Structure 1
Amino acid sequence: MFLPENIDLAYSERYNLSIRLSPNGFSFCIYCPGDPSIFHFQETGLSGKLSYIDNIKKLIFDLGFFSQTFNQVTVTVVSPFYTLVPEAYFEKKRIEELFRFNFHETNGVILTDSTLENDLRTLFNVDEEVHSFLSRNLWNPTFHHHSSILTRLFISHRGDETGKCCFADFHDKYVTIVCFSGNRLLSTNTFLATDPHDATYFIASVWEKLTFDQSTDRLFLSGNIDSQRATIDLLKKLIRRVEQVELSPKVVLTEEQKRTLPTDILAALCV
């Protein structure tokens, strides 16, 4: 496999490895926290002839270096199956009960991720075989949900906003919508949105249910915006204050990478 010449995996402990699991894809990036010039991202589609777990096993074994000792290894799970629980009501022994309350037919191991300075827990599921395999074959990995990463990013971009604001991130044929009133999180949802009218409908519905003002409240957009021009044109007809989230990653990226890399990956590169 091709890696840039400035990445020497004989010294893998210098680098961070980040793996991203989406419903129909597998991607990873390698970067060095101490050297912004070192960054590599690679995305791979999954074979329709293999199961999801067999695809992942094949990729891990074929590429061969994932089990090395990296400085940090993270796995980001992208899915619409998650629920938020306030820390005050969270009990580890009830984690499955809390998750199954919203998702009755979803299988797998239930994991947690923190949101908003540990005020909330994100509960999400991962295929049990996938989780077990990656836990065995990666160096001390931590698992995160894409919505938690986005929420932490958006709360920092909300700044001193005192009114209501909404963030919509386009990714993996989904739109993740995160809404705030001042510094209070109102809602987080991820919807399948393969049609411009789908995304517009979901965003408009959230605004209506949360009584957002189309003239004064703000809508921030991020993610794969280039593929969503029809959606954005529709939204601008409905909402007066539509803006784009501007990110400043601490690694050197091409303009194409800045436009096309998933926002949850860019968020990790901004820390």
Structure 2
Amino acid sequence: MELSDFAGDLYFVLEYTGVLLAATVGGTVAKRMNFDIVGFAFIALISSLSGGFIRDAILNDGPAAALTNPGYLITATIGGAIAYTVTLKGRLWENFRFYADIVTIGVWAVAGTLKGLVADLNWVPCILLAVITATGGTAMRDIVLRQVPALFTSQKMTVFPAIISSAIMLGFNHFDLVWQGMLAAAVAAPIFAVAVYFGGDRFSFFATKEIERPLEEKLGYALGVKTDIRHPVESGEHVTQALEEATDDQLLGAIRLYLQNEVRERSKAKA
């Protein structure tokens, strides 16, 4: 498969968009963790380029695109610089990180699928490359930060949208509608992710398992504080404030409830 000039230009626009957003999100995460300039740049670059590096290594088709095209490193640097100079916090930051992450899923799923098509692979490896490209950066970022990768706990928000986006791209390509498929697939993934986030718990297949809940959510429930997984930083601040203001009796009651829920959740997971 060969891309037309317009489709090729659109491909780079989509992939650069993903690099810019991922570098900005990664850089802001490093900034909030008080990393120095080296750690800051490292996290920004890993977040934005790891998925492409892994994809290109699997294809074994010469040097990775990020090494042969300076535009990738330049775009990642710009994204990191935005995160370094612009202060995003509170609900603004949480909303940006949430929507930036799901937008990158769509654009990188398209990029991974097209890489597979250009290499004349069939639909199975094309979908695999889409998932790797879409999730590789965030997975590597979480591993470096010693966190459980969101890939393992939020598949409905990452893997499934990437698969759907890749399938749409493959379907359009079958009818030689390449650039139309690129746009449709890039838009479909974030729409699906948002739909699942807001309404997925109505279906058992997409329901969030209790064992996946973060610590601040579990403590917030025990303390009677409302939390939102889409706003982890803000939720953590509310829980921290509640812990500081709680009396000894309230803390003991919250700890008892937390431990009871923890034992109950772990027992269900092993059943």
Determine which structure has the larger helix proportion and give its number. 2
Q: Specify which structure has the bigger relative contact order, considering alpha-carbon pairs within 8 angstroms and separated by 6 or more residues.
A: 2
Q: What TM-score does the superposition give when structure 1 sets the normalisation length?
A: 0.26
Determine which structure has the larger strand proportion and give its number. 1
Which structure has the bigger radius of gyration? 2
